């Protein structure tokens, strides 16, 4: 097969980089072709025989796409640690460009929206804001707004990108890599970012200052532009300034305005109210150390990094409580309107032997929790709203968040 016959096949993919294409160097073209074949597994009947017969079989390979990968490893185009299954899973070549965004009939919010994430976060899925009292008051009220990034403003129903995302279902996080549901170049369009209009689905709910129950709620499409990106460490530093707050390990001076600090302190107060309400409904607070395992690639070896994720700090508690409340609101709305959505529920735990509780008394908390969690029932998904025991939410709690990754 002439080299120019292969060119159209390469030009349809991101593997047809200029560095690969040299009309005077057939080997370079064949290597690009083999890489494509190894990652996609199939080029179609008209091209697979060429790879098998003209390249792989003369070298002693049978001609499968796995053989193509093995040959490229021998040539050091992939390192010896490369995982073919992961490479295929992360290969997103062929996703089409997005159309012009669909401008929804959106409620514009003029609140400052705080996104609170780890410092390494690049995909910003959600933000939180609070409404300020009218009449010249300098205090926020008890209406909380949780804004979830809305990919549907960019991706029409049944568009090729939509079908691709449905096939993948979710982004998968592995120690070696991230297998994305959508291309990063697509995701950046609807990540919540400062200094631009961001389309979101906003869950607004009013928290009772008496017992922390949800008194009222509404859900609406929204447009937000006043976004402030914060890290958990920055918010923890602000919350440590509250009366009774624990001394912060993060001593860097916050650059937030006084109003921002007031909003974050008030949101944390509301989060504590929500937590007390859940505990009154039978919620179980079990915090176990979460191991973090990462594989770090270096030119000649792979290094494994093992650490423990930071425990439930005030900032993480704030975000967690507001997300639990958001899912409860989504469940209430779906049940009220007869919508079929996935409800996450959990039955009551198995009875714990009193003698075991006495044996656990006085032991370190993480050892005690590790034993108690064995008595918890597995959470399940259904289309019927039921109680979630661990969270203390009654009957109606859906699984709704991070639409760009699930």
What is the DSSP secondary structure assignment for residue 374, as one 8-state letter? G
Contact 140, 131 (CB under 8 A): yes
Please compute the mean of the pLDDT values over residues 159-188 and round it to a whole number: 82
Cα–Cα distances in angstroms (integers) from residue 107 to residues 113, 117, 204, 327, in the given order:
14, 25, 12, 21
d(CA 334, CA 396): 9
Question: How would residue 291 be classed by pLDDT, with cut points 50, 70 and 90?
Answer: confident
Higher-confidence residue of 182 and 239: namely 239
**Residue 159 contacts by C-beta under 8 Å, 6 or more apart in sequence?**
99
Contact 221, 150 (CB under 8 A): yes
Higher-confidence residue of 307 and 26: namely 307
pLDDT at 316: 94
Quote the percentage of the chain above a pLDDT of 70.
Answer: 77
Higher-confidence residue of 305 and 105: namely 305
Q: Which of 282, 289, 396 lies closest to 349 in space, CA to CA?
A: 282
Residue 183 has pLDDT above 50, yes or no: yes
d(CA 11, CA 337): 49
Beta bridge partners of 327: none
Cα–Cα distances in angstroms (integers) from residue 60 to residues 30, 53, 57, 164, in the given order:
16, 11, 5, 36
d(CA 37, CA 2): 18
Q: Which of 119, 178, 167 lies closest to 315 in space, CA to CA?
A: 119
For the chain, which residues make up each domain, given as ranges?
3-90, 107-338
What is the DSSP secondary structure assignment for residue 281, as one 8-state letter? T
For the segment 233-269, what is each residue's pLDDT rounded down to a tens digit? 999 999 998 765 554 444 444 578 899 999 999 999 9
For the segment 18-75, what is each residue's pLDDT rounded down to a tens digit? 444 455 666 676 777 778 788 877 655 455 566 667 777 777 788 788 888 888 888 7
Residue 91 has pLDDT above 90, yes or no: no
Mean pLDDT of the chain: 79
Q: What are the b/e assignments for 121-134, b being 16+ CB within 10 Å?
A: eebbbbbbbbbbee
DSSP letter string over 46-61? Answer: TTHHHIIIIIIGGGT-
Q: What is the 3-state secondary structure (H, E, C) of 97-152?
A: CCCCCCCCCCEEECCCEEEEECCCCCCCCEEEEEEECCCCCCCEEEEEEEEEECHH
Residue 117 has pLDDT above 60, yes or no: yes
For the segment 127-149, what is each residue's pLDDT rounded down to a tens digit? 999 987 765 556 678 999 999 99
Contact 400, 177 (CB under 8 A): no
Q: Which of 340, 347, 328 lies closest to 387 in space, CA to CA?
A: 347
pLDDT at 7: 46
């Amino acid at each position: 097969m002439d080299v120019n016959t292969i060119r159209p096949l390469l030009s349809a993919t991101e593997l047809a980089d200029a560095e690969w294409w040299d009309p005077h160097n057939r080997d370079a073209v064949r290597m690009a072709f083999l890489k494509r074949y190894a990652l996609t597994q199939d080029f179609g009947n008209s091209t697979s025989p060429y790879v098998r017969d003209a390249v792989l079989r003369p070298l002693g390979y049978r001609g499968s796409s796995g053989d193509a990968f093995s040959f490229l490893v021998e040539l050091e185009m992939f390192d010896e640690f490369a995982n073919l299954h992961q490479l295929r899973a992360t290969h997103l070549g062929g996703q089409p460009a997005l159309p012009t965004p669909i401008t929804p009939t959106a409620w514009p919010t003029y609140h400052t929206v705080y996104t609170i994430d780890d410092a390494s976060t690049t995909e910003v899925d959600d933000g939180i804001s609070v409404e300020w009292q009218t009449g010249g008051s300098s205090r926020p009220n008890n209406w909380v707004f949780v804004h979830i990034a809305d990919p549907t403003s960019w991706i029409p129903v049944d568009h090729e990108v939509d079908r691709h995302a449905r096939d993948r279902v979710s982004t998968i996080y592995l120690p070696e890599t991230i297998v994305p549901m959508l291309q990063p170049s697509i995701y950046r369009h609807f990540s919540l970012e400062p200094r631009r209009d961001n389309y979101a689905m906003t869950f607004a709910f009013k928290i009772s200052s008496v017992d922390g129950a949800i008194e009222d709620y509404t859900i609406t499409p929204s447009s937000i532009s006043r976004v402030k990106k914060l890290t958990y460490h920055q918010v923890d530093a602000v919350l440590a300034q509250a009366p009774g707050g624990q001394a912060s390990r993060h001593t860097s001076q916050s650059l937030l305005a006084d109003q921002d600090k007031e909003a974050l302190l008030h949101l944390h107060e509301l989060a504590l109210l929500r937590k007390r309400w859940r505990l009154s409904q039978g919620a179980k607070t079990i915090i176990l150390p979460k191991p973090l395992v990462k594989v770090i690639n270096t030119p000649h070896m792979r290094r494994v990094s093992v650490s423990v994720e930071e425990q439930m700090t005030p900032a993480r508690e704030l975000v967690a409580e507001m997300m639990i409340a958001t899912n409860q609101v989504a469940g209430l709305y779906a049940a009220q309107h007869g919508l079929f959505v996935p409800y996450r529920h959990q039955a009551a735990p198995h009875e714990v032997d009193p003698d075991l509780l006495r044996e656990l008394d006085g032991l370190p908390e993480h050892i005690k929790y590790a034993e108690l969690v064995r008595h918890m029932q597995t959470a399940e998904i259904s289309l019927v709203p039921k109680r979630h025991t661990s969270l203390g939410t009654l009957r109606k709690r859906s699984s709704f968040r991070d639409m760009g990754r699930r």
